[in-house]
Structure 1
Amino acid sequence: MIRLYHVPLSPFCRKVRLVLAEKKIEVELVEERYWEQDPDFMRRNPAGKVPVLRIDDMNLAESTPICEYLEERYPNPTLMPKDAEGRYEVRRLMAWFDDKFHHEVTSKLLYERVNRKLMKSGYPVAANVKSGSKAIKYHLDYMAWLLDRRRWLAGDAMTLADFAAAAHLSALDYTSDVDWNRHEVVKDWYAKIKSRPAFRSLLADHVPSFPPPEHYADLDF
């Protein structure tokens, strides 16, 4: 049995969930309140973070190494290009979203609005929310620039880069923090990836006390 310890709105967990679903790998989802530092969970990942993927007797941590492990162990359908240049571009964009986008946007919006309440760590810091709301515009503009030149973010085929981006944006869409009308090409890209069967479990997520907007699960927005 493959088991994923996760938090529903975590973009890093969502990225792994998308890869598992796209590759049709059966998995048991276990919600983990990692901030409570349960001793059993800390033994699985001393870093105290999700996602953690348990396969056989292995505990795999960190979303990008997990995704690349799954790509190597379950190569079909492929989510990485064959050429070195293409693989570099996928990794560059994954780092862009998981590092830069996460620091400038996700941590300022999703974490302030949702995580603070879940962790009982106070109220959202208005300055952080304002900063994240401003920064996301730049990132959407950059995505539009890429998609004006490519079918998908990293090239002509869907890759892990698209899943990394969609994982962050879907979580922010849950909190109504994405202006899909800013760039039609970005909205079309998200509609395309949102309509894939792999996305269904994400669209079914529901966090207590945080209902999603009506359009969240609507494939036609």
Structure 2
Amino acid sequence: MRILYHLPLSPYSRKVRMVLAEKRLPFELRAEKIWERQDSYLELNPACTVPTLIEDNGLVIPDSRVICEYLEEAYPDTALISRAQPERVETRRLVAWFDEKFYQEATRNLYWEKQLKPALKLGSPDANALRAGYANLKQHLLYIGWLAEHRRWLAGSGLSVADFAAAAQLSTLDFMGDVDWSVSPAAKEWYARIKSRPSFRAILSDRVNGMTPPPHYTDLDF
């Protein structure tokens, strides 16, 4: 069986988990403490990041964006990147937006400062980073809401990797209770649709030692 090395709250791991589940591809999860920099894992992924996917035939695929592109090429029956060129471009633009811009401006400022930094004993959270994270998260929610109001799904008419990229970032922050869904009812309605998909169920069942998600985290109707 294929193996996915991951961390439970890594948004990039969560994105790949949702794509695998949406394509109905079975896989085994293995948690990898990347900060320990184990030699065995470095041999698989010299960047020492998660996720890393190992296929049944031994093919090793690191990096969430590379993995998702590979899965789309290797298992095209459930298409998550449109065959229409404009929508393909928009899907990839939004995946880059959420993987890079959203993460740097919102997720990193909150997830890193509140969870990873203390856990790794790297000091106390930076108040300026937290303020920036919350302010940026509000703007990103408004943008997601705008997309949801003008399209059936974020990149266009069909569910795509872009939806999972956005949902992965938001689910990590929602687990920590950091998302104010009242900012954008349209974003909340879109996220509720994603939460209700079977491919999202395993994400909602994740638990992390020392952390308790808010009650609405697993509520499909909020």
Which secondary structure state, in structure 2, belongs to the residue aligned with residue 181 of structure 1? helix
TM-score with structure 1 setting the length: 0.98
Structure 2 CA distance for aligned equivalents of residues 206 and 76 of structure 1: 32
Deviations, residues 111-146 of structure 1 (Å, cap 9, x unaligned): 111111332322211111111001111111111111
Cross-structure match for 2:188: 187
Give the residue type in structure 1 aligned to 2:7: V
Cross-structure match for 1:44: 44
TM-score with structure 2 setting the length: 0.97
Superposed structure 1 runs of 4+ greater than 6 Å apart = none
Q: CA RMSD in A?
A: 0.9
1:90 aligns with 2:56: no
Structure 1 CA distance for aligned equivalents of residues 197 and 151 of structure 2: 19
Structure 1, unmatched stretches of 5+, are none
Tell me, yes or no, if the aligned pair for 2:146 and 2:186 is still in contact at 8 Å.
no
Cross-structure match for 2:4: 4
Alignment of 1:93-132 (within 5 A): 93-132=94-133
Structure 2 CA distance for aligned equivalents of residues 213 and 154 of structure 1: 29
Alignment of 1:1-221 (within 5 A): 1-55=1-55, 56-221=57-222
Structure 1 CA distance for aligned equivalents of residues 194 and 10 of structure 2: 18
Q: Percent identity?
A: 49
Tell me the number of residue pairs that the alignment of Structure 1 and Structure 2 aligns. 221
Name whichever of 174-183 and 187-196 sits farther off.
174-183
Give the residue type in structure 1 aligned to 2:34: Y
Which secondary structure state, in structure 2, belongs to the residue aligned with residue 111 of structure 1? helix
Structure 2, unmatched stretches of 5+, are none
Deviations, residues 160-204 of structure 1 (Å, cap 9, x unaligned): 000000000000000111111111111110000000000011000
Which secondary structure state, in structure 2, belongs to the residue aligned with residue 88 of structure 1? helix
Give the residue type in structure 1 aligned to 2:148: L
Which secondary structure state, in structure 2, belongs to the residue aligned with residue 148 of structure 1? helix
Structure 1 CA distance for aligned equivalents of residues 63 and 186 of structure 2: 30
